[in-house]
Structure 1
Amino acid sequence: MNRIGVVGCGLMGAGIAEVSARAGMEVVVVESSAPAAEAGQARLTKSLKRAEDKGKIGSAAAVLERIRLEISLDALADREVVVEAIVEDEQAKTDLFTQLDKIVESPDAILASNTSSIPIMKLGVATTRPENVIGIHFFNPVPVLKLVELVPSLITSPDVTERSRRFVQDVLGKEAIDCPDRAGFVVNALLIPFVLSAIRMLESGFADAEDIDRGLVLGAAHPQGPLALADLIGLDTTKAVADSLYEEFKEPLYAAPPLLLRMVDAGLLGRKAGRGFYNY
């Protein structure tokens, strides 16, 4: 595979586009509007320039030449693999997959989702080729973190799973783990209850944010505390994953605490908003 399409150029979409272009692929990124595409271009330029300054790549300009920003899904017609990286909303994603099914021409093309929680089967049945639909879940920041979760549905073809594995490992140089098609997959099914527990601890007044995070960093050798991590993930994304997990399993540990709900309502979404559990 040489031609990849990415839908969405936020933090995750831009990261997927960047690592694909750095691997030599021809990348088309589709955003919803011209201003969003301009913001995505600026995000890519900033990240690649930083990588160039650190000596991780030879030329940011050369990598950028392999990335094309568009505002029409029709630009994805000739892609061999398309990775969806839009808002973590089931209806928005299923609508997008219905459109991609009509636009992407090759019957062998892989239609992948970067969802962190939504069952892949629900996205697959929105198309006429559910055997070609798979979850390829990257982690933020994509250029840095090596892990990718591969999530085939019950009817994803073994060939699509294997080609996706080669794309992730041989082309992008990432490490893939196999995950069942259940909300949260492997990492978030473990991580989100941990983060929610930290939020409940803060909400109850048991400890403040700094001490909760310092405790896990200094006492458990975590690279960052759970509340700082929630700010990095985005509190809206944290809530969305929690909601998907709770809907699927109905376990209290997956229920979003009231503090998280109110912060999302207030727009206190973490790093991307400038304020979450910490100010940025």
Structure 2
Amino acid sequence: MQLSFRTWLRVIIILSLTAIAGTAPALAASPCTERAKSLLLPGKISCSYRSTWIPSSSISNRKVIYQLPSGTAPTGGWPVVLIYQGSFFPLNNFTYYTTDPFGGYYEGRVVKTLLENGYAVIAPSAPADLFWHTNLPALASNYELSTDYTFLTNVFQAIDDGDFGPLNGNRKYATGISSGGYNTSRMAVSFPGEFKALAVQSGSYATCSGPVCSVPDELPADHPPTYFLHGFVDLTVPWWSMDMYYDRLLYQNIPTGRYTKTTGGHEWFPASAAKVLAWFNAYP
């Protein structure tokens, strides 16, 4: 049987594509999907997740959602990022829209970027899904009495025990916005030696609260490297309150850096995902 020129051409193209596919490295499936914004629909980022409950006291538990990267964990387990919610906006799932307040869509981009670059992501819940205890006047200087302290201690133990899967408890990182940003700082103050690096979005020192802010003259000598992302016109957590913290880290020669969005308010930014990833990658 004689094949036509067009048939031969199709055979050659198919064989060529097969050869290319056979030699190209396979890309790991992402646990996330992203839909661009259109005239009819908002943009959407959605990552699959798992959930569990961790004790926060002898009589109460809190929900934790989490996800691991696709593929096989490296030797020692996946590095892990704890992401802390802002006030009144619990992380009950990993789905975000461009219509979400406080740049929530770009928080989704942070989660997606971390998962696709080999970091597990764990999102513990604040008390009653409201806000963290770190800067409440009655607990700011007595933090060990808070259920946050008990809860997060148990979360860290669950990481080490393998309850979330193959994670590397020696490579923990933290980030969060607003109340979650203050809580990110709390990791340096009350959990020495636990974290490799921190990224504070629209927040400041652990015990600060908006314009009521005082940074100690002496920060812990083992304070993790800390990066700040802040809007210059943030009316909730003033930029200068972050600047005080940043300057103190500089003074003590603790690695730090910052990104200021000059027109930014109290929100995640389009640049947040790449900045957070780069900072954590710098401290393996």
- TM-score, with structure 1 as normaliser: 0.31
Structure with higher Rg: it is 2
Q: When you count strand as a share of all residues, which structure comes out higher?
A: 2
- TM-score, with structure 2 as normaliser: 0.30
